[in-house]
Amino acid sequence: MTYENARSRAIQSSPSMAIAMAAKKLRAEGRDIVDLSLGEPDFEPPAHVAEAACAAIRAGGIRYGASAGNEALRAAIVDKFHRDNGLSFALHEIIVANGAKQILFDAFLATLEEGDEVVIPAPCWVSYGDIVSLHGGKPVYVSCGPEVGFKLSAEQLEKSITPKTRWLLLNSPSNPTGAIYTAAEYKALAEVLARHPRILVLSDEIYEHVLLRDVPFVSFGSVCPELRERTLIVNGVSKAYAMTGWRVGYAAGPKALITSLSKMQSQSVTSVCGVAQAAATAALTGDQAFVAEGARIFSHRAKLIAEGLAQIPHIDFTPPDGAFYAFIGVSRLIGCHTASGAVLSDDTAVAAYLLNEFGLSSVPGIAFGAPSFIRLSIAASDAELQAACERLGKMVQSLSGFK
């Protein structure tokens, strides 16, 4: 007996989560594992965030909430967009969800017809394509390698558009590459989109505040106001405020689209946990020094791992401008022999060998639509990052048969 439909069978569980679980299993067995597979801050949220959650519990009255989110939190999000991005939204143009991932689910559930296409620049976050497929859409991956800064050009966008194209999905700063789009690059894309009025834009800006190399972040909505009625800006408190487990994401967009998303949410999860919403409200309205300090910490770590990776031969690495990942090219390792004589046939084999023999957990690039890479999270201590570079270096040193 089968319990899955065709859409469910066509996708897999999150690769990064599966690798993280494998690393945890090895660690539980007593292995010395440096796990850099998952992307989440390794420190706690600001103290006032936790206190706000506790105060909400003590005050009581935590009941079913509005499907679009509590008014206090949506008002805080309106203020956030004005403060950080110079954007003006009304309360009815804001929705709160159980993480940014649910925003994507709601958006594609509400808008995609069977066979509609979503243009996704690759490398990209592991879940984008599967979420599109789950809702009857077709992900159209456009390869954007290091030679173009891991970013989609206007020419590539134009060539990828068909009569079935419904969405363009952008992510800046990018997971996994750390690339950040400039205002000029966004404007070039907007010129193409102006000729295709059916296409909507989903701008995933969850890493907005994780800036590593003095490259400024700009919101797609700020740069391209002429596309306001076609743009959904997605963000959340997970990365900037170290609140991954609180599961609070949010989005801003045209009223009609937000209403549709709210309808989807009302029929699925009803609403977001009221305690988590109180905490998120405190995060957005409280002292923002935590955000700046987090960016400083990640910038330091990015420099640390860049220095370590620079000492390792036969790999390729472009230092990221944002987010908290190191996306490492391992094409020159593919085809090499291990000490036991095994051949590293692809990036998945490289990642497996690195984990099983050297105790370093990474995510293979194929999971991001970019074979011949591996991704390391730099959301880890200095000691873990130094150990990661040492282990990767030892792994490369152990190989033979370089081309």
Instruction: CATH number of the domain at 119, please.
Output: 3.40.640.10
Residue 403 lies inside a defined structural domain of this protein = no
pLDDT for the residue numbered 18: 73
Q: How far apart are CA 220 and CA 235, in angstroms?
A: 12
Final residue of a domain: which of 287, 310, 336? 287
* Pair 154, 179: CB distance under 8 Å: no
Q: Are residues 266 and 314 in the same domain?
A: no
**257 and 295 share one domain:** no
Whether 379 and 298 have beta carbons less than 8 Å apart is answered as: yes
Q: Which of 241, 266, 287 is the last residue of a domain?
A: 287
Q: Are residues 327 and 263 in the same domain?
A: no
Residue 304: give its domain's CATH number: 3.90.1150.10
Task: Give the separation between CA 41 and CA 248, rounded to whole angstroms.
Answer: 15
Answer yes or no: is 52 within a domain.
Answer: no
Confirm whether 205 is domain-assigned: yes
**Are 126 and 259 contained in the same domain?**
yes
Query: Residues 271, 357: one domain?
Result: no
- Please check whether residues 133 and 272 belong to one and the same domain: yes
Q: What is the domain range of residue 372?
A: 6-44+290-397
Q: Which of 244, 262, 287 is the last residue of a domain?
A: 287
**Are 85 and 174 in a shared domain?**
yes
| pLDDT single digits (tens) 99-143 | 999 999 999 999 999 999 999 999 999 999 999 999 999 999 999
Identify whether 361 is part of a domain.
Answer: yes
Torsion angles phi and psi, residue 328, rounded to 5: -110, 125
- Say whether both 273 and 323 belong to one domain: no
Q: How many domains does the chain have?
A: 2
If asked whether residues 71 and 219 sit together in one domain, one would say yes
- Start-to-end Cα distance in the chain: 49
Q: What is the per-residue pLDDT across 37-82, written as a single tens digit (0 to 9) for each?
A: 888 899 999 999 999 999 999 999 999 999 999 999 999 999 999 9
Per-residue b/e over 136-168, b at no fewer than 16 CB within 10 Å?
Answer: ebbbbbbebbbeebbbbbeebbeebbeeebbbb
- How do the pLDDT tens digits run along the chain, 403 residues long? 788 888 888 777 766 667 777 878 888 888 899 999 888 899 999 999 999 999 999 999 999 999 999 999 999 999 999 999 999 999 999 999 999 999 999 999 999 999 999 999 999 999 999 999 999 999 999 999 999 999 999 999 999 999 999 999 999 999 999 999 999 999 999 999 999 999 999 999 999 999 999 899 999 999 999 999 999 999 999 999 999 999 999 999 999 999 999 999 999 999 999 999 999 999 999 999 999 999 999 999 999 999 999 999 999 999 999 999 999 999 999 999 999 999 999 999 999 999 999 999 999 999 999 999 999 999 999 999 999 999 999 999 999 999 7
Place of tokens 């966008």: 157
Tell me, yes or no, whether 30 and 83 share the same domain.
no
In a domain, 183, yes or no: yes
> Is residue 163, in this structure, part of any structural domain at all?
yes
Residues 174-198 have pLDDT tens digits of 999 999 999 999 999 999 999 999 9
What is d(CA 107, CA 101) in angstroms, rounded to the nearest whole number? Answer: 10
Contact between 325 and 377 under an 8 Å Cβ cutoff? The reply is yes
Is residue 1 in a domain?
A: no
Q: Residue 91: what pLDDT?
A: 98
Verify that 221 and 343 share a domain, yes or no: no
Does residue 49 fall inside a structural domain? no
Note whether 218 and 358 are same-domain residues.
Answer: no
